[in-house]
Amino acid sequence: MPARRVLSLDGNWNYIIDPYENGFYDYRREPFDQSKSGKGGYYDNQKPSSKQEPELIEYDFDHSATLQVPGDWNSQDPKLLYYEGTIWYKKSFSLKPQAGKRYFLYFGAINYESHIYLNGKKLGMHKGGFTPIQYDITDRLSPDGDNFVVVKADNTRRQDEVPTINTDWWNYGGITRSAFIAETPETYITDYKVQLAKNDPNTLAGYVQLSGNNKAGQTVTLDIAEAKIRQQLKTDAEGKASFSVPAKKLTRWSPQSPKLYAVSLSSGSDAVQDHIGFRSIQTRGADVLLNGKPTFLRGISIHDENPLIPGRARGEGDLRMLLTWAKELGCNFVRLAHYPHNETMLKLADELGLMVWAEVPVYWTISWQNPATYQNAETQLSDLISMGKNRAGIVVWSVGNETPLSDPRLKFMSSLAKKARELDDTRLISAALELHRDGNNVIVDDPLGEYLDLTSINEYAGWYWGGKPSEITKYTFNIKYNKPVVISEFGGDALAGYHGDAETRWSEEYQEALYQNQLKMLSTIGNLRGMTPWILTDFRATRRQHPVYQNGFNRKGLISSSGQKKKAFYVLQEFYRQQAQKYD
Ligand code: GCB
């Protein structure tokens, strides 16, 4: 519900570090919130009552320190840098509910498992560190206006979760994205989709969904004033109004001209506004067609991290900085790896003219055989698609990254790919695949490729295999599918300011030579239609232990953790300049 924020909950939240989960379990390890009274946990936010003898209460939010929301906890207190476990957050707020209104509590993201309580009562539990959480709290607000919300955030890594225990990024915990309360009328617009129809770029198609007691038989108005589109629709018994409107004259969104239209939807006393772009994306043989015209995806991979903090990006300024760097590199495309990024990021990409590859954290070795793990991945995928479906920039849904071949994995991944297509057949479906080698032959024949629109591989010649950068041009690619090839990763670490020759690992010159030779090698792939090298900026990664060159950072960034551009940045920039000349 970001369109109708009424009360921001961003800012200071009191917090309690609770590695033993004393605020959740009693001394017999039974959860307080499952007990008869439901009481006893930190979510009670209990205070000694003044009249009686002072009760024993062994916590006190109001005298505890504070953390900033949005923001991970790791980067806000040195003792939390490596912390994995539970932290309790509390914020008091005043809001008097008005008759005839509904109220929703919204969190952009909480990593990873969250239990959320309002005024001492549980609203629910959510898993997944990168997707929004929302509860209807209309009947839970206190009539006198004094309220408090308590969140148990737990970033413990577990094998059966999504992602699983092993990743190559920092396990930032906490309420990492904005929190707020939204207010709506009793009957309200809960969802909408306004996009060009599949295979018919001259038609706008979509729906508006109402919720609430009077959702059936209501009039809904779709208004795109600038395009002189105004339609009155009627909702069906389920509160849904679908539409299909001629849209020949709409200016198409593209990176060269990222045209967005002000779209307004209203019904009764409710109204939402959005800025939406319209474009088509398809493949034909080896080509990616944007608005019917072949394009080359000049991309870069990005984590949701501001390397200068360093920590999770905390607001629009951080996100704009990342995308401005991508534009400076000459990109028309970004891979938002390896999990759903902030909704603000998706909107900024629309505004700045960047196509987007959006991904779910099905990364490396997930528990392929566990049905709950699959369900979790599918829910995260559905939430991502739901959040991004009106964004013109998003052209690719990626269902995972570098997942090792096996039958259970193929079943899991192909089911996810089918699900993505079922939820949204107007965008391309992909996944970052692996390769295998036979001599100088690089072979791509992962059977998952059948289910995907692009052939995307992560390929680390010159870093993890293949010898020195100068040796890699001997490799040739043997790719089973006649589809556009978009190389989802290549790269190597370089410590900014460390210089050597082209064979000195960790030096800027090594990374520069690696990019030069990678681009030569990849240019021999006939179907090459894009790439998202790894990665725009250095980022924190626990696996990266070298005390001199890494120091807890993956240094494959083209920009360092202090914002310095490395030599390889300019190699890719020049290559993209040439591609833009050819295609734009
Ligand atoms: C990969 C992963 C990425 C890592 C990168 C690396 O293949 O997809 O998450 O960070 O390699 O640096 O090794």
DSSP code string of 131-191: S-EEEE-GGGS-TTSEEEEEEEEE----TTSSS-S--SS----EE-S-EEEEEEESSEEEE
333 neighbors 96 (Cβ within 8 angstroms): no
Which residues does 330 contact at the CB level (< 8 Å), separation at least 6? 298, 572, 573, 576, 577, 579, 580
Q: How far apart are CA 120 and CA 42, in angstroms?
A: 9
Q: How far apart are CA 469 and CA 463, in angstroms?
A: 8
The pLDDT score that the predictor gives to residue 6 is 83
Q: How far is the CA of 260 from the centre of ligand 1 (A)?
A: 34
Tokens of 363: 């990364």
Q: How many CB atoms lie within 10 A of CB 78?
A: 8
Angle at 67 between CA 63 and CA 68, to 5 degrees: 135
Tokens of 256: 């060269």
Q: How far apart are CA 443 and CA 438, in angstroms?
A: 7
The pLDDT score that the predictor gives to residue 1 is 55
Q: How far is the CA of 313 from the centre of ligand 1 (A)?
A: 20
Tokens of 541: 């990664």
Ligand 1 atom closest to Cα of residue 488: 8
The dihedral formed by the CA atoms of 471, 473, 475 and 481, expressed in degrees to the nearest 10: 150
Residue ranges lining ligand 1, Cβ < 6 Å: 168, 338, 401-402, 458, 489, 534, 554, 556
The pLDDT score that the predictor gives to residue 51 is 65
Q: How far is the CA of 168 from the centre of ligand 1 (A)?
A: 6
> Quick one: three-class SS letters along 488-536?
CECCCCECCCCCCCCCCCECHHHHHHHHHHHHHHHCCCCCEEEECCCCC
What are the structural domains, with CATH classification, of the chain? 2-185 (2.60.120.260), 188-278 (2.60.40.10), 282-583 (3.20.20.80)
Average pLDDT, 10 consecutive residues per value, the chain (584 residues):
78 98 97 95 90 83 98 97 98 96 97 98 98 98 98 98 98 98 96 93 95 97 97 98 93 98 97 97 98 98 98 97 98 98 98 98 98 98 98 98 98 98 97 97 98 98 97 98 98 98 98 98 98 98 98 98 98 98 94
Nearest CA to ligand 1 atom 3: 168
* DSSP-derived secondary structure letter, 4: G
Helix axes 508-522, 567-583, angle to 10 degrees: 20
461 neighbors 521 (Cβ within 8 angstroms): yes
Q: How many CB atoms lie within 10 A of CB 214?
A: 14
182 neighbors 106 (Cβ within 8 angstroms): yes
Sheet holding 281-284, edge to edge: 281-284, 287-290, 293-295
In the chain, how many H helices and how many E strands? 6, 37
Q: How far apart are CA 105 and CA 145, in angstroms?
A: 15
Ligand 1 atom closest to Cα of residue 402: 8
506 strand-pairing partners: 494
Closest CA to 92 of 53, 147, 132: 147
Q: How far apart are CA 564 and CA 553, in angstroms?
A: 15
- Residue of 305, 463, 489 with the most ligand 1 atoms within 8 Å of its CB, for mutation: 489
Q: How far is the CA of 523 from the centre of ligand 1 (A)?
A: 22
Q: How far apart are CA 418 and CA 424, in angstroms?
A: 10
Tokens of 181: 């309360």
Which phi and psi (to 5°) does residue 528 adopt?
A: -60, 120
Tokens of 276: 């939406």
Ligand 1 atom closest to Cα of residue 432: 8
373 neighbors 161 (Cβ within 8 angstroms): yes
Q: How far is the CA of 490 from the centre of ligand 1 (A)?
A: 9
pLDDT tens string 465-493: 999 999 999 999 999 999 999 999 999 99
* DSSP-derived secondary structure letter, 545: -
Tokens of 374: 């699959």
Cis-peptide into 163, omega within 30 deg: yes
For residue 432, what are the CA distances in angstroms to 227, 360, 435?
A: 38, 11, 10
Q: How far is the CA of 107 from the centre of ligand 1 (A)?
A: 29
Tokens of 312: 């999770």
- Residue of 553, 554, 555 with the most ligand 1 atoms within 8 Å of its CB, for mutation: 554
Q: Which amino acid is at 132?
A: P
Tokens of 340: 């759903």
For residue 202, what are the CA distances in angstroms to 3, 22, 84, 287?
A: 28, 59, 51, 21
Cis-peptide into 338, omega within 30 deg: yes
- Residue of 534, 543, 550 with the most ligand 1 atoms within 8 Å of its CB, for mutation: 534
Closest CA to 518 of 532, 505, 506, 507: 532
The pLDDT score that the predictor gives to residue 440 is 97
